[in-house]
């Protein structure tokens, strides 16, 4: 049964959060990025785990410059790679400069900015030209048509823009790449990764003023550069795990306050238990509870649980199976999840014994599962299954792996 | 009276002779007095009798004068008589009396007589007054004080006052005329007395009043002023003469000393002149460096002013250091602990003018400072909250050659040294000389070999410090034109050669212009870059010609031979099987040009850096129809080894000191043994302990607390886990280096405390999987990069055999985690 669409922001909380008032959690990550914005970071998280929302929150946090004087300030530039779809490293370089220019203009709130944007659009239509007078001829190629920049041009443009940024009290720029797995799927991925690594390794003029944040899933971490020093070597890797208990409680309170509904504690606990504090699932479970309150219907929890499992069937099936989606679980991940769901709570060592996998393999897999938001870390090497909705859905599914494990 | 005295003495029976001898002068004096009394009375009578002839009076005056000069007996009475004689009708008598009075007054500057004379002067009129003026003038400057005193005690508008002024004027005139004849003491006393007189005499404005003008001539006062100035001038003149004489004497003495030294000890003179030249040179050098630093900071958008001979002052600066401005900059050849104190002092002095009390200073050095400096720097940081940014001068010089690099360099050092940084967690190559540890012998060896035109291949594991080493080598070889080329951004195109040629030429031009600014306008330096679509084959001839011309210009500008090129991450342009033929040709053309410049022209030395020595070991490329590798076996292979225990401990200790924390010795040793001395791994282990244990007041890491993190390092450090997964294992998998992987599995399958494995045992265990050659290759590479250690063990039969042990137990721990129980059984040594 489909949930009636109420007049709620962010496409009924299905889209990324784009207002700071509705964003909860990830404080330590935000603080860490604000403290040192010019590092390379890789933000990993499962589907609908709040990666885009987290990137938005990083932008707000970086633009909110109320910290101590000695703190470095970065201008955030968000680039959605799934939308931009650069076709080469030169094109990516062009996009970086173009988006940085645009962001800077928006930040300046210059009246001329819209005029400039239109003018730039116009420029992109002109491929170039040739000027000839006696004894002299000049061929001009317009880089805006190619939408490509070679290294040296990119470097010079970036240096000029960094200089401009200083006028606005920004020390440098932090590029945030949403959907960065797009790059690792390209044949020029190695070049791009090596290029970013070089900018942060040996370019004295640029490296202290350039931050790079890539968001994506496991494949971003697992990508092996064919040649050259891996970008991962100098990157900090963060998984977007489920929300903390207090953050989840605050989010629920905010939603209830917005809708003038007071949810009883039992139901608040149910929201937390069913969603496993997975950001997207919390919002959706809340939608259902609030909807039924608004309609004055009272449904037994079992029915509501069943309804919601069905509602998320498409999501869950894509989360579950790697063959259906790039964000899906591999067979090993499925087997570990099933093993964990059997014992509700377990350690790496006992899961390794249970599945006959190596400790490293189990630890890596659990890291991914926590990052998808369906497994909760308990501390002391112990883990438990998170979202009950997903767990119930998995139990209802009869996958070959599960059958095998049951046998 | 004398008779009575004799009688008394006779009665007392004392020895007459003795007593008489003793009393003889007294008796003579008494006798003289008895005689003079009558004479004086006669003379006084004669003088007072103005009817008598003038000659007798004149004689009487002279006689009285003689008596008064010989004894003070009745002197006042005589003086009174003589003063009266000043009004004698005869001018000769007046003159005699005046001279007599002046002579009496001059006896020991007789205060009583002078006092009488001054008092009388004040009350006198006409010739008597004039004569007294004459008398006092003769006495000289010693009466000035008394005259001034008298003046100040009376009303100004009287005749007596006028007499006083006239006398002072007269004395002043005399003083002015005779100033050159006065002794030093006399001159000083006269000056003091005149000054007092000036203070008490009316100023010129007061003299304009009519009543006074009549009595006190302006000229009189003016003369006193003129006399005072004249005496002052005389004092100045004498002082000048004294200085001149002193200097002349000193110079003369010095010349004599120098001549004597030159004659008897010429070597001492040479030493002296040498130290003077050195002093001058060092000052010139410091001035040049400060000027260079001013340029550097200007490029970084900072406002810098000269503060004193040793120090610059950053008035304003952008970035994180903004809050610390104004701050001092000092440049030192090789800093010592005293320089830290000096910089702190300067910083505090500057801090007094700003609201923010955060103290910082920048110290630019040529030679790396010693351990005491580091300790003092750490102490100043903890004790005085003083942030010191030590920047190598070589880094400043390099940054000046590169647009925008100055700001970057300052920001880099600010990030590193401003409070809050975890100095163990260094992910990028280390450019800071103070944070670079060990490798001193290797640096020296590489430097010498490059200077001999030897091509070098520097190889080692990822994060083993190759790039850091190159950065330090660049500083060490600052006398040679050096270009550090990171190949990572250039490998994306098949035709990468033109971009690399452009970069090399442009860097050389920048260095030339920085060293010799006059070259900036030279047309021959106008370089039109090669089009990036051109192949290296097309550009190589022109590139060689360009480099030849630039090399000559650089050597003429004072750079030493040869040019040095560092080519880092060579793997990015190394042709692989799947590459197009053009890419292999590009590699050949690029390195062909470099080889020609190195071997034929002897102009450059170049060093390549990578993980594996493929660039120098592959001769024939997989691409059909491409010529062989021009740098096959061209490079001398050098592997970057791990640190010794001492080097690791020093690195950990130094960073601890700087961060104000402490690791106990057991923890430090564990860091070395678990990391095998691999700097990155050791630092990450220390970083893990710092992040997890050091909080709030807890500044010490003890083994009892640290142990659990050593037992499960990968649960707590994703960086370490990813390092082994991606950089070691991932790299071996990519290369399909089965031999090395199997060998590491064999080591990991054993217990941590198992003894070293013999070569025989290894061969036996791996014989089912690998050939002997594969095992030998793997052993060689693993040992070269420092993942295993080899030792010769003497066997029972007297022969020796190579034994191998894992050097990085942390790698074994990681590998064990990746192995299931079955796999561990499978790889157990046989």
**Model confidence pLDDT, tens digit, residues B295-345:** 999 999 999 998 888 889 999 998 888 888 899 999 988 899 999 999 999
The confidence score (pLDDT) of residue A117 equals: 56
Task: Say yes or no for a CB contact (<8 Å) between A70 and B408.
Answer: no
pLDDT band at residue A116, thresholds of 50, 70 and 90?
Answer: low
User: What end-to-end distance do the CA atoms of chain A give, in Å?
Assistant: 34
What is the token pair recorded at B185? 């003491």
| Lowest-pLDDT choice from A87-101, A256-270, B134-148, B563-577 | B134-148
- B228-247 pLDDT, tens digit each: 888 888 888 989 999 999 99
For residue A184, pLDDT beyond 70: yes
Instruction: Compare all CA atoms of chain B with the CA of A379 and give the residue at the minimum distance.
Output: B715
Can you tell me the distance from the alpha carbon of A76 to that of A369, in angstroms, rounded to the nearest whole number? Answer: 29
For residue A127, pLDDT beyond 80: no
Instruction: Compare all CA atoms of chain A with the CA of B723 and give the residue at the minimum distance.
Output: A233
Q: What is the average per-residue pLDDT within B77-83?
A: 86
Task: Say yes or no for a CB contact (<8 Å) between B488 and A208.
Answer: no
| Lowest-pLDDT choice from B141-150, B152-161, B214-223, B713-722 | B214-223
- How far apart are the CA of A302 and the nearest CA of chain B, in angstroms? 38
Q: What is the average per-residue pLDDT within B211-226?
A: 63
DSSP output for A383-399: EEE--HHHHHHHHHS--
Q: What is the average per-residue pLDDT within B417-442?
A: 88
For residue B156, pLDDT beyond 70: no
Task: Say yes or no for a CB contact (<8 Å) between A229 and B320.
Answer: no
CB pairs under 8 A between A and B: 158
B420 and chain A in contact, CB less than 8 A: yes
- A244-268 pLDDT, tens digit each: 999 999 999 999 998 888 888 888 9
Q: What is the pTM of this model?
A: 0.73
- B606-630 pLDDT, tens digit each: 999 999 999 999 999 999 989 999 9
- B5-40 pLDDT, tens digit each: 444 444 444 444 444 444 455 555 555 555 567 778
The confidence score (pLDDT) of residue B310 equals: 81
B484 and chain A in contact, CB less than 8 A: yes
Nearest Cα to Cα of residue A305 among A375, A391, A399 = A391
- B262-281 pLDDT, tens digit each: 888 888 888 888 889 988 88
Can you tell me the distance from the alpha carbon of B798 to that of B779, in angstroms, rounded to the nearest whole number? Answer: 24
What is the token pair recorded at B159? 């005749």
pLDDT band at residue A140, thresholds of 50, 70 and 90?
Answer: low
B750 and chain A in contact, CB less than 8 A: no
Which B residues in the span 723-742 are in contact with A, Cβ-Cβ below 8 Å? Answer: 723, 726-727, 730, 733-734
Instruction: Compare all CA atoms of chain A with the CA of B461 and give the residue at the minimum distance.
Output: A229
Average pLDDT taken over every residue of chain B:
86
pLDDT band at residue A1, thresholds of 50, 70 and 90?
Answer: very low
The confidence score (pLDDT) of residue A219 equals: 85
The confidence score (pLDDT) of residue B21 equals: 47
Task: Say yes or no for a CB contact (<8 Å) between A191 and B467.
Answer: no
- How far apart are the CA of A16 and the nearest CA of chain B, in angstroms? 28
Instruction: Compare all CA atoms of chain A with the CA of B730 and give the residue at the minimum distance.
Output: A224
For residue A406, pLDDT beyond 80: no
The confidence score (pLDDT) of residue B162 equals: 78
For residue A44, pLDDT beyond 60: yes
Which B residues in the span 275-304 are in contact with A, Cβ-Cβ below 8 Å? Answer: 301
Can you tell me the distance from the alpha carbon of A381 to that of A377, in angstroms, rounded to the nearest whole number? Answer: 8
Task: Say yes or no for a CB contact (<8 Å) between B407 and A205.
Answer: yes
- The answer to whether B790 and B804 are in contact (CB under 8 A) is yes
If DSSP codes are grouped into helix, strand and coil, which group holds residue A172?
strand
For residue A79, pLDDT beyond 90: yes
For residue B69, pLDDT beyond 90: no
For residue B402, pLDDT beyond 80: yes
- B757-781 pLDDT, tens digit each: 999 999 999 999 999 999 999 999 9
Residues of chain B above pLDDT 70, percent: 92
Can you tell me the distance from the alpha carbon of A77 to that of A74, in angstroms, rounded to the nearest whole number? Answer: 9
- How far apart are the CA of B378 and the nearest CA of chain A, in angstroms? 20
Nearest Cα to Cα of residue B202 among B152, B257, B251 = B152
The length of chain B is 830
The confidence score (pLDDT) of residue B220 equals: 67
For residue A191, pLDDT beyond 50: yes
- Type and span of the H or E element at A377: strand A375-379
Q: What is the average per-residue pLDDT within A234-244?
A: 90
The confidence score (pLDDT) of residue A327 equals: 81
If DSSP codes are grouped into helix, strand and coil, which group holds residue B261?
helix
**Which is higher by pLDDT, A217 or B33?**
A217
| Lowest-pLDDT choice from A134-138, B4-8, B283-287, B289-293 | B4-8
For residue B219, pLDDT beyond 70: no
DSSP output for B485-517: EE-GGGTTSS--HHHHHHHHHHHHHHHHHHH-G
| Nearest beta carbon to residue A195 from set B409, B420, B489 | B489
| Lowest-pLDDT choice from B427-431, B441-445, B565-569, B812-816 | B427-431
For residue A325, pLDDT beyond 80: no
B715 and chain A in contact, CB less than 8 A: yes
Task: Say yes or no for a CB contact (<8 Å) between B734 and A361.
Answer: no
- B630-657 pLDDT, tens digit each: 999 999 999 999 999 999 999 999 999 8
Instruction: Compare all CA atoms of chain B with the CA of A355 and give the residue at the minimum distance.
Output: B820
- A143-170 pLDDT, tens digit each: 566 788 888 889 999 999 999 998 888 9
Task: Say yes or no for a CB contact (<8 Å) between A207 and B428.
Answer: yes
Instruction: Compare all CA atoms of chain A with the CA of B492 and give the residue at the minimum distance.
Output: A191
For residue A89, pLDDT beyond 90: yes
Task: Say yes or no for a CB contact (<8 Å) between A159 and B818.
Answer: no
Best probe of the B interface among A205, A206, A231, by most B CBs < 10 A, is A205
**Which is higher by pLDDT, B202 or B22?**
B202
For residue B49, pLDDT beyond 90: no
Can you tell me the distance from the alpha carbon of A73 to that of A209, in angstroms, rounded to the nearest whole number? Answer: 9
DSSP output for A37-106: -SSEEEEE--TTSSHHHHHHHHHHHHH---S-TTS--EEEEEEEHHHH---SHHHHHHHHHHHHHHHHHH
Instruction: Compare all CA atoms of chain A with the CA of B405 and give the residue at the minimum distance.
Output: A205
Scanning the structure block, which residue is given the tokens 């050095």? Answer: B365
Residues of chain A above pLDDT 90, percent: 43
The confidence score (pLDDT) of residue B530 equals: 92
Task: Say yes or no for a CB contact (<8 Å) between A207 and B408.
Answer: yes
B431 and chain A in contact, CB less than 8 A: yes
| Nearest beta carbon to residue A208 from set B411, B718, B723 | B411
Task: Say yes or no for a CB contact (<8 Å) between A227 and B428.
Answer: no
Can you tell me the distance from the alpha carbon of B279 to that of B285, in angstroms, rounded to the nearest whole number? Answer: 10
Residues from chain B contacting residue A29 (CB–CB below 8 Å): none
């Amino acid at each position: 049964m489909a949930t009636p669409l109420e007049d709620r922001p962010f496409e009924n909380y299905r889209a990324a959060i784009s207002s700071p008032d509705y964003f909860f959690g990830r404080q330590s990550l935000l603080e860490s990025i604000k403290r040192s914005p010019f590092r390379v970071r890789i933000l990993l998280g499962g589907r609908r785990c709040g990666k885009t929302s987290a990137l938005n929150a990083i932008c707000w946090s970086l633009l909110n410059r109320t910290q101590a004087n000695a703190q470095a300030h970065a201008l955030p530039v968000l680039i959605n790679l799934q939308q931009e779809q650069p076709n080469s490293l030169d094109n990516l370089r062009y996009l970086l400069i173009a988006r940085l220019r645009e962001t800077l203009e928006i930040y300046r709130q210059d009246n001329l900015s819209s005029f400039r944007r239109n003018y730039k659009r116009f420029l992109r239509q002109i491929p170039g030209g040739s000027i000839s007078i006696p004894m002299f001829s000049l061929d001009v190629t317009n880089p805006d048509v190619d939408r490509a920049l070679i290294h040296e041009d990119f470097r010079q443009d970036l240096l000029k823009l960094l200089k401009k940024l200083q006028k606005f009290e920004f020390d440098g720029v932090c590029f945030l790449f949403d959907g960065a797995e797009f790059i690792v799927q390209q044949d020029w991925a190695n070049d791009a990764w090596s290029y970013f690594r070089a900018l942060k390794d040996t370019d004295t003029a640029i490296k202290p003023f350039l931050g790079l944040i890539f968001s994506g899933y496991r494949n971003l971490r697992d990508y092996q550069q064919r040649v050259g020093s891996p970008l991962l070597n100098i990157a900090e890797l963060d998984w977007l795990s489920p929300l903390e208990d207090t953050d989840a409680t605050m989010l629920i309170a905010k939603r209830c306050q917005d809708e003038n509904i007071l949810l009883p504690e039992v139901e608040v606990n149910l929201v937390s238990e069913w969603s496993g504090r997975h950001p997207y699932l919390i919002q959706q479970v809340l939608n259902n509870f609030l909807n039924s309150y608004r309609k004055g219907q009272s449904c037994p929890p079992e029915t509501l649980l069943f309804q919601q499992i069905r509602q998320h069937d498409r999501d869950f099936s894509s989360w579950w199976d790697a063959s259906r989606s790039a964000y899906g679980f591999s067979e090993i991940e499925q087997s570990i999840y099933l093993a964990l769901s059997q014992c509700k709570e377990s350690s790496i060592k006992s899961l390794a014994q249970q599945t006959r996998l190596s400790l490293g393999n189990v630890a890596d897999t659990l890291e991914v599962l926590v990052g998808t938001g369906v497994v909760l870390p308990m501390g002391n090497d112990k883990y438990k299954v998170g979202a009950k909705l997903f767990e119930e859905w998995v139990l209802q599914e009869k996958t070959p792996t599960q059958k095998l494990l049951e046998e | 009276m004398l008779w009575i005295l004799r009688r008394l003495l006779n009665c007392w029976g004392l020895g007459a002779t003795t007593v008489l001898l003793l009393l003889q002068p007294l008796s003579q004096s008494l006798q003289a007095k008895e005689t003079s009394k009558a004479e004086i009375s006669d003379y006084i009578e004669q003088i007072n009798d103005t009817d008598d002839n003038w000659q007798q009076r004149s004689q009487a005056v002279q006689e009285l004068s003689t008596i008064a000069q010989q004894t003070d007996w009745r002197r006042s009475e005589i003086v009174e008589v003589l003063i009266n004689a000043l009004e004698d009708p005869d001018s000769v008598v007046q003159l005699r009396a005046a001279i007599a009075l002046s002579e009496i007054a001059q006896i020991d500057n007789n205060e009583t007589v002078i006092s009488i004379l001054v008092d009388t002067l004040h009350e006198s009129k006409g010739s008597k007054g004039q004569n007294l003026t004459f008398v006092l003038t003769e006495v000289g400057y010693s009466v000035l004080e008394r005259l001034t005193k008298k003046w100040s005690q009376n009303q100004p508008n009287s005749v007596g006052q006028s007499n006083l002024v006239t006398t002072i004027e007269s004395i002043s005139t005399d003083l002015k005329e005779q100033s050159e004849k006065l002794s030093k003491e006399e001159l000083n006393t006269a000056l003091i007395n005149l000054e007092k007189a000036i203070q008490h005499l009316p100023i010129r404005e007061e003299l304009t009043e009519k009543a006074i003008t009549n009595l006190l001539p302006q000229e009189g006062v003016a003369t006193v002023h003129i006399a005072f100035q004249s005496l002052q001038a005389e004092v100045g003149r004498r002082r000048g003469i004294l200085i001149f004489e002193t200097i002349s004497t000193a110079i003369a003495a010095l010349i004599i000393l120098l001549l004597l030294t030159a004659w008897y000890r010429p070597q001492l003179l040479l030493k002296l002149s040498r130290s003077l030249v050195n002093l001058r040179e060092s000052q010139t050098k410091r001035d040049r460096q400060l000027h260079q630093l001013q340029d550097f900071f200007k490029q970084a958008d900072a406002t810098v002013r000269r503060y004193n001979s040793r120090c610059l002052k950053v008035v304003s600066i952008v970035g994180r250091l903004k809050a610390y401005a104004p701050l001092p900059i000092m440049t030192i050849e090789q800093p010592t602990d005293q320089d830290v104190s000096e910089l702190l002092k300067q910083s505090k002095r500057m801090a007094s003018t700003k609201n923010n009390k955060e103290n910082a200073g920048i110290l630019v050095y040529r030679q790396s400072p010693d351990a005491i400096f580091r300790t003092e720097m750490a102490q100043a940081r903890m004790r005085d909250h003083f942030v010191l940014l030590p920047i190598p001068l070589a880094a400043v010089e390099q940054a000046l050659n590169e647009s925008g690099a100055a700001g970057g360099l300052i920001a880099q050092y600010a990030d590193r040294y401003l409070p809050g940084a975890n100095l163990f967690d260094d992910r990028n190559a280390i450019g800071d000389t103070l944070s670079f540890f060990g490798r001193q012998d290797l640096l020296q060896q590489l430097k010498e070999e490059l200077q001999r035109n030897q091509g070098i291949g520097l190889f080692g594991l990822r994060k083993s410090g190759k790039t850091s080493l190159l950065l330090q080598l660049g500083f060490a070889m600052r006398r040679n034109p050096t270009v550090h080329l990171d190949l990572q951004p250039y490998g994306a195109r098949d035709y990468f050669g033109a971009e690399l040629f452009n970069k090399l030429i442009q860097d050389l031009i920048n260095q030339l212009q920085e060293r010799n600014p006059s070259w900036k306008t030279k047309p021959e330096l106008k370089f039109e870059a090669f089009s990036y679509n051109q192949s290296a084959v097309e550009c190589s001839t022109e590139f060689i010609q360009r480099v030849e011309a630039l090399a000559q210009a650089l050597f003429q500008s004072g750079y030493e031979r040869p040019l040095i090129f560092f080519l880092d991450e060579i793997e990015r342009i190394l042709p692989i099987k799947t590459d197009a033929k053009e890419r292999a040709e590009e590699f050949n053309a690029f390195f062909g040009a470099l080889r020609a410049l190195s071997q034929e022209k002897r102009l450059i030395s170049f060093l390549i850096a990578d993980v594996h020595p493929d660039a120098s070991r592959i001769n024939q490329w997989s691409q059909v129809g491409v010529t062989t590798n021009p740098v096959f076996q061209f490079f001398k292979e050098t592997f970057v080894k791990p640190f010794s225990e001492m080097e690791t401990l020093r690195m950990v200790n130094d960073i601890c000191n700087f961060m104000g924390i402490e690791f106990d010795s057991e923890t430090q040793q564990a860091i070395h043994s678990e990391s095998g001395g691999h700097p990155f791994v050791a630092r990450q282990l220390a970083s893990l302990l710092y992040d997890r244990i050091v909080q709030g007041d807890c500044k010490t890491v003890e083994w009892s607390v640290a142990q659990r993190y050593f037992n499960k390092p990968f649960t707590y450090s994703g960086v370490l886990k990813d390092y082994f997964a991606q950089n070691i294992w991932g790299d071996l998998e990519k290369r399909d280096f089965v031999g090395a992987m199997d060998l590491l599995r064999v080591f990991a399958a054993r217990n941590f405390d198992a003894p070293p494995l013999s070569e025989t045992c290894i061969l036996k265990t791996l014989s089912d999987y690998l050939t002997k050659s594969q095992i030998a290759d793997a052993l060689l590479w693993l040992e070269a990069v420092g993942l295993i250690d080899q030792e010769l063990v003497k066997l029972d039969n007297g022969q020796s055999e190579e034994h191998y042990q894992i050097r990085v137990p942390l790698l074994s721990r990681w590998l064990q985690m990746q192995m299931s129980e079955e796999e561990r059984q499978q790889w157990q040594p046989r």
